A and B are shown apart, each in its own frame.
Chain A
Amino acid sequence: MLARPPSIDFEALFCASPNPYVLMSSDLTIVTMNDAYLAATMREREDLVGRPMFDAFPSDPDSDSHQLLQSSFERVVRTGERDEIALIRYDIEQPSGGYEERYWSATHTPLIDAGKVAYILQHTVDVTELHRLRTFAAEAGHHAREETGVFERAHAVQEANQTLAQETQRLRTLFEQAPGFIAVITGPELRFQLANAAYRRLVSGRDVVGKTVAEALPEVVDQGFTALLDQVRTSGEPFIGRSVGIMLEVEGGGPLEERFVDFIYQPISIGGEVTGVFVQGNDVTDQRRAEEHQKLLINELNHRVKNTLSIVQALAMQSFNDRVEPSAARETFDARLNALSAAHNLLTMENWESAGLFDTIEASVAATMGPDTDRVSLRGPNILLAPQTAVSLAMAIHELCTNAIKYGALSNESGKVDIRWTVSPGPEKLADVAIEWTETGGPPVAAPTRRGFGTRLIERGLSAELRSKVALDFRQSGLKCTILAKLPTVSE
């Protein structure tokens, strides 16, 4: 038994290994290498030691080979973890001059000192040989070990690639499903490289990827969007648009449709040079339409309020005059406001679009008489009236009701009022309406000496389009009022 392990000369082991090794400092200066490495690269030790790696083995900095190797070194320095290159073409200068096409597989292992990567050990295998191995399988026995090493590394890289592919797929899915629209437009010809689902929705499902903006969306060129993209590309300055109108083709052609978008054109710069434009934004058309609609509603409301104030003012003028005692005038005015309010309630229920003829008369009667409406009977169809007509009719019925309460059939305990009407459809949303208001059982009535507001109102304008005809027959048995009017209606 040995008391302790024999001392091993690691340097000798390193030099004797059949695997090619080269050791670099973290700034890629070659520190040392073994004989196998010198053999593989066809170089002398003194040519390499102390020289930067890419100086000793020059390659075009823009070539894939150069970038693949450099990025592997950078990953090792950055992460402190081993990095693999399954296959890399890296041509080697021959001693006789010229370059020889060579393929390599490499493992870069970091050597850590004080928590930082101090050295990188490159284990490289010349796999140009593999072709020969494959071709001359029988003679390949002594290369089997290298081959196994290469395949193990290739497997490790493959796993890494799989992880990368999954990551890429995940990002692609996120990009595709992002709620905002996203597109990438590259090159001076403004070609779509990417466009997500939201973007395709914006352009009515048109296939834009691979086409230039002018080819894919010809209608936007004259709207200045390509000029804007060019400006962003050449200036390198982003452009931010808020609620910008854009006319876009809808599916299946036809006239253009206006959409509104919030968007940003963000220049994509690589190495200080703008290579394309990242387009990102939201379709805010619905929001914009809602705002416009709201503005319209507020204007309409304002108009309606002004109109209502005018009506209230007019009712006040009709109620308060020299002929009427102030307390009675106030009572009249209050009752009129009440009837107006009932008509408004009815209209509000129907969004101020219409009110039923039956409903209007019924509401006006109820507003005037209170709960005691048994003595008034209503019979007739409930056609839909235009809002203004409903208000006028409600006020006219209110005046007739008030008159009946003060002087007519409703001034005693037993009188009754019968209201019935017939409707025959007229031309263009006008209905011929014949209303008969018949009072019975009241005290004997006599024609008033002057025409009141109610009568004038009925005569003047139950109809907006044509004057109505009103006949007031003050019979001994009670008032009979016949109204013939063409009333503007609203179709259901």
Chain B
Amino acid sequence: MTLEGATVLILEDEPIIGLALEDMLSRQGASVLFASQVAEACEFIEQEQLDSAVLDVNVHGVLSYPVAAMLNERKIPFIFATGYGDRSHPSEFAAVPTIAKPYSVEDVRRALQKSRPLEA
């Protein structure tokens, strides 16, 4: 996917990191929706037309897999971002591109390009 003109959801509990990611994506021409908690992200998914998403795996101690499942149902591609290098995802999300913190603009772009809606 291309970021130009795309609407991207960011789920990130660390405001400073979220700001940087927002800037990264904005500079690529995307418009960004920012959620700092799982429930907020779910609201965006229900209300907005999303093209893609970057999900922090651990959001204030809550795993973001339910958000991933919602995106999946709607065939919206997404990637995971995580600070836990060695954590493996549940099998249904094993194929989701995952970037490890700290990540570069290039890491995010590449991962988003690889992301595909998962098979049901």
Enumerate chain A interface residues (CB-CB to B < 8 A): 299, 302-304, 306-307, 309-315, 317-318, 388, 391-392, 395, 453, 456-457, 460-465
Contact = CB atoms under 8 A, between A and B. Distances in A.
Given A388-B60, A461-B36, 7 more contacts: A299-B84, A303-B83, A306-B85, A317-B20, A318-B20, A453-B19, A464-B36
A310 B19 contact: no
Contact of B84 (A303, A456, A465): A303
A471 to B, nearest CB: 18
B19 A457 contact: yes
Contacts of B85: 302, 306
Contacts of B103: 310
9 closest A-B pairs by beta carbon, nearest first, are A461-B15, A314-B20, A306-B83, A310-B102, A310-B101, A309-B102, A313-B102, A306-B101, A303-B83
A423 to B, nearest CB: 20
B23 A310 contact: no
Question: Chain A interface secondary structure, helix, strand, loop or mixed?
Answer: helix
B68 to A, nearest CB: 19
Interface string B1-25: 0000000000001111111110110
B100 interface: yes
Nearest to B84: A303
A460 B18 contact: yes
24 contacts: A302-B83, A302-B84, A302-B85, A303-B84, A304-B83, A309-B102, A311-B16, A311-B17, A313-B20, A314-B20, A317-B20, A317-B23, A388-B13, A391-B16, A395-B16, A456-B19, A460-B34, A460-B36, A461-B18, A461-B36, A464-B13, A464-B37, A464-B60, A465-B37
A159 to B, nearest CB: 70
Nearest to A315: B16
From B13, B15, B34, B60, name the one whose CB has the most chain A CB atoms within 10 angstroms: B15
B100 to A, nearest CB: 7
Interface in B69-113: 83-85, 100-103
A444 B117 CA distance: 55
B23 A307 contact: no
A410 B84 CA distance: 42
A311 B37 contact: no
Contacts of B83: 302-304, 306-307, 310
A453 B18 CA distance: 12
A313 B34 CA distance: 19
A261 to B, nearest CB: 29
A462 B14 contact: no
A311 B23 contact: no
A174 to B, nearest CB: 48
Contacts of A315: 16
Nearest to B34: A460
Interface in B27-65: 34, 36-37, 58, 60
A388 B20 contact: no
A266 B111 CA distance: 58
Nearest to B105: A317
Of the candidates A303, A307, A310, A395, the one having the most CB atoms from chain B within 10 angstroms of its own CB is A310
Given A306-B83, A306-B102, A464-B36, A392 B16 contact: yes
A306 B100 contact: yes
Contacts of A309: 101-102
A299 B17 CA distance: 20
A314 B102 CA distance: 9
Contacts of A461: 15, 18, 36
A462 B102 contact: no
Given A299-B84, A302-B84, A461-B36, A307 B101 contact: yes
Contacts of A299: 84
A313 B18 CA distance: 11
Contacts of B102: 306, 309-310, 312-313
A318 B15 CA distance: 13
